[in-house]
Amino acid sequence: MVKKSGKFIKYGALLLGSLAVMTVIFTYILNINKFAGLTGDDFLYHFIYTGEWPAKTGATEYHNLFDWMKAIHTHMTQWNARFTSIVFEIAAMQFPKWIINIVNTIVFLVVGFEINILASGKKAIFRPLQQFAIYLLMWFFLAGFGSTVLWVSGTSNYLWPAVLILGFFIPYRFDYHVKRHHNIMAWLILILGVLVGMSNEVGSSTSILVVAFFTICNRSKKNFNDLWWKTVGVLANAIAFICMLKMSSGSAETKNYGAGDGLIYHLRMIIADTITYSGPLILVTIILGILIIISQYRLFKKVIVAEPLNEIEQATASGIIFFISGCAGVGAMIISPVLFPRLWFAVNILMIVSLFNFFEAYQLLRKRSAFTYGILVLAVVGLAYLAIPSYHFHMENLKESYNVFYTHEQLAKEARAKGEKVVKMPGIQITTDLYNPYDGTPYIMPGNKKLWANTWMAWYWKVDRIVLDNSVPVRQTPQKDFPLITNVEKFYEEHIAHEKKLQNFRFPQITDKPKYVRSIKDSAVPKSVNAKLDNSNLPANKPWLRNALIRYINVSTNKVVGTERISSPYNQKYNISNASIVGYDTLDSNPKSYTFTKKYDQIIDLKVKPRTKYVTLYFNQVDHDGKHKKSTLYATTYFLAKTGQTATIQAPTGFRFKNGKTVRKLDIKDNTGEVLYEVTKIPFKEHLKDYRGYFILGILMFILFIIDIGIAWIKKLINQQREKQE
């Protein structure tokens, strides 16, 4: 009775732990969804899809099932044939944004839980630490987080179909045996296979490999009925995928992407981007996988002769299958004309599943020793340490964009109330933050002609026309972070951040906060200004005329930043209330007039303060694909500075400026608003130090496994000694 009670308390505590983890993650993901407004295709899919432009009769909202069928047919024949994603996309935009936020957060939780199920099966709900680690890895490695999780049209194409894809894998992963109603199972798996096969290119193609490998690996010489429904699922998945590709081959989307780059250049970019978006994940999976595979030397023989696999072997085989399928997803990018970060979404999902299957095999192999849980605790603590500042950084960037969306929302509402039909709205800041849904998605476009994005936005906001006007001030949203997030951030800043324990444990573009502006300082050597009064303009026939030199003095540095000569007869009062210098604001405390004297060296000192302004930096990556020069926007940032200051600009990690240096100076002038820098990639061997996080991670894992092997060896010796004594 005591034993049963203890077991009940243990599993009850683990269940509560899992629910607590999900509650925390729900809060964080819902919070970031709150600050992700609508953009790009979102406005379009609110209406019946007729193509790039509204129908001649105008944009029409959905009213019945026939409207849905008509829109889906048009979309599949004109743009792409992602049937599953299209249905999700249209459905999402029929609800208010706050409902989408909640649904999207729940879907995020479900995807993470399914990953845990694919590793631990029915016991997943009792693995809170593992569940927490999965969600943290999803934060870092769901490639293009802004466009695949936060953008409504993106999440319905990537995150939402992942629920179906991972659910499709579960019966294959655990080799379900259907005792009765095999035909019903075949029909269910057929429907699911079709939906998965027509979700998105990388997710659908890799899912074919996953279920096919599992069907072969778990084939049975005795039970044909299970082989029957598994084969139906594989074929349905493959045929649906081929149909999707065929229907999309001549679509507008394919033509829109245009011709690809040179093969060698394209391969080089795939490798570089894979290191960027998946590097640490692949590294850890390979190291752990090798350790497990070496210990399962009979696994491959069992697969060849179709012998049943034990629990450890099943987890190991699963890890191999998901890893190979993920690598195949990378290989499939060779035929893609463009390499968006979101292409790595399905790849990284498979890598995370592979990693935790290998970890499941590792724990089973070590009989769930305290050391294996220690490794998991270490991983969770380390990831959380990196995730908190990462979340804060990306939230700050996202809030800047959301303020613009909020401004548009309010301007449209006010215009409708006043009966105005044309609304002027400010543009949105260019961003290259992969956690921002506005990265690379169309928004308000400049120009007076009819524009695609502006047209759909006007229909959505129920006005006749939207015009870009950057002079319209951006408003600040009253929306705040949830208290939990604010308190965690405050605690982190006060008690943890300054410790810098893991300051070298960084990964470019994943955990590392990019720093493009090293410092902004007043110029050490300000530009020299000739402060001598030149009287050469005074004519001999006008002896009553005098000059005075106005010196504009920067109150911040007490330096003369400009001069101006004025002339007037002596003993006369001169109005200097409008005296000013470009880039500086004249202080109200300055005198408003000056009375000239008979002196020939009259000086008037006026105090000024430098004007604060936003400076936007654009970094264009310049490369050659073997035929011609290519220039693409790699990163952008903006900062506040004052006229007369000097900013020290740092090139993005792994890049250098045209002059061969990684740092350069930028003098802030009155006309300094947008600055474009061309940067080139530094050869990998020349910036190995930027990837020190990878080396530290590899060394750390090697040390942990050496300790693990040592502990296992000592336990073996102890057990042998006990056997001898008995």
Could you write out the three-class secondary structure of 21-33?
HHHHHHHHHHHHH
Distance (Å) of CA 166 to CA 136, 154, 335, 577, 714: 18, 18, 25, 72, 40
Position 50 confidence tier, pLDDT thresholds 50, 70, 90? confident
Position 251 confidence tier, pLDDT thresholds 50, 70, 90? low
Q: Which residue has the higher pLDDT, 597 or 56?
A: 597
Taking 60 as the threshold, does the pLDDT of residue 514 lie above it?
yes
When pLDDT is averaged across residues 470-478 and rounded to a whole number, the result is 89
Pairing of strands 629-642, 655-657: unpaired
Compute the mean pLDDT over every residue in the chain, rounded to the nearest whole number.
Answer: 86
Phi/psi region, residue 234 (left: phi>0; alpha: psi -120 to 50; beta: rest), is alpha
Helix axes 370-418, 483-495, angle to 10 degrees: 130
Taking 80 as the threshold, does the pLDDT of residue 530 lie above it?
no
The strand pairing partners of 520, in sequence order, are 647
When pLDDT is averaged across residues 436-465 and rounded to a whole number, the result is 84
Taking 60 as the threshold, does the pLDDT of residue 500 lie above it?
no
Q: What is the pLDDT of residue 1?
A: 56
| DSSP structural state of residue 149 | I
Q: What is the pLDDT of residue 55?
A: 77
When pLDDT is averaged across residues 637-651 and rounded to a whole number, the result is 83
Amino acid making up residue 487:
N
Q: What is the pLDDT of residue 510?
A: 58
Q: What is the pLDDT of residue 21?
A: 96
Taking 90 as the threshold, does the pLDDT of residue 189 lie above it?
yes
- For CA atoms 334, 337, 340, 345, give the dihedral sign: negative
- The alpha-helical segments, DSSP class H, found in 306-451 are 311-331, 344-365, 370-418
Q: What is the pLDDT of residue 495?
A: 77
| DSSP structural state of residue 47 | B
Position 449 confidence tier, pLDDT thresholds 50, 70, 90? low
Residue 661: partners with Cβ closer than 8 Å, 6 or more residues away = 651
Position 139 confidence tier, pLDDT thresholds 50, 70, 90? very high
Q: What is the pLDDT of residues 317-351, one digit of tens each?
A: 999 999 999 999 998 888 776 778 888 999 999 99
Q: What is the pLDDT of residue 723?
A: 74
When pLDDT is averaged across residues 541-569 and rounded to a whole number, the result is 89
Q: What is the pLDDT of residue 430?
A: 79
Q: Which residue has the higher pLDDT, 235 or 514?
A: 235
Distance (Å) of CA 49 to CA 78, 90, 94, 412, 442: 10, 9, 13, 23, 18
Position 136 confidence tier, pLDDT thresholds 50, 70, 90? very high
When pLDDT is averaged across residues 131-160 and rounded to a whole number, the result is 94
Taking 70 as the threshold, does the pLDDT of residue 627 lie above it?
no
Q: Report which of 155, 215, 121 is spatially closest to residue 33, judged by C-alpha positions.
A: 155
CA–CA distance, 303 with 479 (Å, rounded to integer): 56
Taking 80 as the threshold, does the pLDDT of residue 635 lie above it?
no
Percent of the chain with pLDDT over 70: 91
When pLDDT is averaged across residues 642-662 and rounded to a whole number, the result is 85
Distance (Å) of CA 328 to CA 43, 142, 177, 355, 455: 35, 17, 28, 16, 40
When pLDDT is averaged across residues 397-414 and rounded to a whole number, the result is 92
The strand pairing partners of 675, in sequence order, are 617
| Tally of residues, the chain | 726
Taking 80 as the threshold, does the pLDDT of residue 695 lie above it?
no
* Residue 156 structure tokens: 């319905």
Burial (CB count <10 Å: 0-12, 13-18, 19+), residue 115: buried
Position 312 confidence tier, pLDDT thresholds 50, 70, 90? very high
Tracing tokens 């432009």 back to the chain, one arrives at 53
Residue 275: partners with Cβ closer than 8 Å, 6 or more residues away = none
When pLDDT is averaged across residues 299-303 and rounded to a whole number, the result is 84
Q: What is the pLDDT of residues 557-613, one digit of tens each?
A: 888 888 999 999 999 999 999 998 888 889 989 999 999 999 998 999 999 988 887
Percent of the chain with pLDDT over 90: 37
When pLDDT is averaged across residues 402-431 and rounded to a whole number, the result is 90
Q: pTM (2 decimals)? A: 0.82
Q: What is the pLDDT of residue 350?
A: 96
Taking 80 as the threshold, does the pLDDT of residue 462 lie above it?
yes
When pLDDT is averaged across residues 626-655 and rounded to a whole number, the result is 79
Q: What is the pLDDT of residue 690?
A: 67
Q: Which residue has the higher pLDDT, 307 or 123?
A: 123
Position 148 confidence tier, pLDDT thresholds 50, 70, 90? very high
How many other CB atoms are there within 10 angstroms of residue 65's CB atom? Answer: 8
Taking 90 as the threshold, does the pLDDT of residue 130 lie above it?
yes
Q: What is the pLDDT of residues 200-241, one digit of tens each?
A: 888 889 999 999 999 998 887 566 778 888 999 999 999 999
Taking 60 as the threshold, does the pLDDT of residue 526 lie above it?
no
CA–CA distance, 666 with 660 (Å, rounded to integer): 16
How many other CB atoms are there within 10 angstroms of residue 530's CB atom? Answer: 9
Q: Are 361 and 295 in contact (CB under 8 A)?
A: no
| DSSP structural state of residue 439 | S
- Phi and psi torsions of 296, nearest 5°: -115, 60
* pLDDT-wise least confident of 252-256, 604-608, 629-633: 252-256
Tracing tokens 């049963």 back to the chain, one arrives at 4
Position 409 confidence tier, pLDDT thresholds 50, 70, 90? very high
Q: Which residue has the higher pLDDT, 146 or 1?
A: 146
CA–CA distance, 372 with 182 (Å, rounded to integer): 40
Distance (Å) of CA 136 to CA 130, 266, 387: 10, 31, 7
CA–CA distance, 484 with 486 (Å, rounded to integer): 6
Distance (Å) of CA 538 to CA 106, 179, 534, 599, 689: 80, 110, 9, 13, 65
* pLDDT-wise least confident of 7-11, 13-17, 493-497: 493-497
Q: Which residue has the higher pLDDT, 47 or 625?
A: 47
Q: What is the pLDDT of residue 28?
A: 97
